[in-house]
Amino acid sequence: MSSLSLPWPLPAVLVWLAAWLLFGWLTRAGHDVLLALGLACALGVAASLLGHTWWRRLLIAMGFPLSLALSGAVSLPGWAWLPPLLLLLLIYPLNAWRDAPLFPTPFHALKDLPAHIPLAQGALILDAGCGLGDGLKALRHVYPQAQLHGLEWSWPLRALCALRCPWARVRQGDIWQADWSGYDLVYLFQRPESMPRAAAKARAELKPGAWLVSLEFEATALPAPICLPTSNGRSVWLYQPNRRV
Contacts of 57 (CB under 8 A, 6+ apart): 48, 49, 50, 51, 92, 101, 102
Q: How confident is the model at residue 3 (pLDDT cuts 50, 70, 90)?
A: very low
* 21 within some domain: yes
Sort strands 185-188 and 211-215 into parallel, antiparallel or unpaired. Answer: parallel
Rounded CA gap, 101 and 188, in Å?
A: 12
Inter-residue contact 188 to 222 (CB < 8 Å): no
Q: How confident is the model at residue 182 (pLDDT cuts 50, 70, 90)?
A: very high
Q: Are residues 134 and 234 in the same domain?
A: yes
Among residues 92, 122, 145, the one where a domain terminates is 92
* 62 within some domain: yes
Give pLDDT tens digits for 94-141. Answer: 445 444 555 688 899 999 999 999 999 999 999 999 988 999 999 999
Q: Are residues 75 and 121 in the same domain?
A: no
Q: Are residues 14 and 132 in the same domain?
A: no
Average pLDDT value for the chain: 84
Cα radius of gyration (the chain): 21
pLDDT of residue 92: 58
* 107 within some domain: no
Q: Are residues 160 and 228 in the same domain?
A: yes
Q: Are residues 134 and 227 in the same domain?
A: yes
Q: Are residues 76 and 171 in the same domain?
A: no
| pLDDT surpassing 90 at residue 146 | yes
Total domains in the chain come to: 2
Give pLDDT tens digits for 14-45. Answer: 988 999 999 999 989 999 888 888 888 888 88
Share of the chain above pLDDT 90, in %: 47
Boundaries of domain holding 70: 10-92
160 to each of 22, 142, 202, 214, 234, how far by Cα in Å? Answer: 23, 22, 27, 23, 26
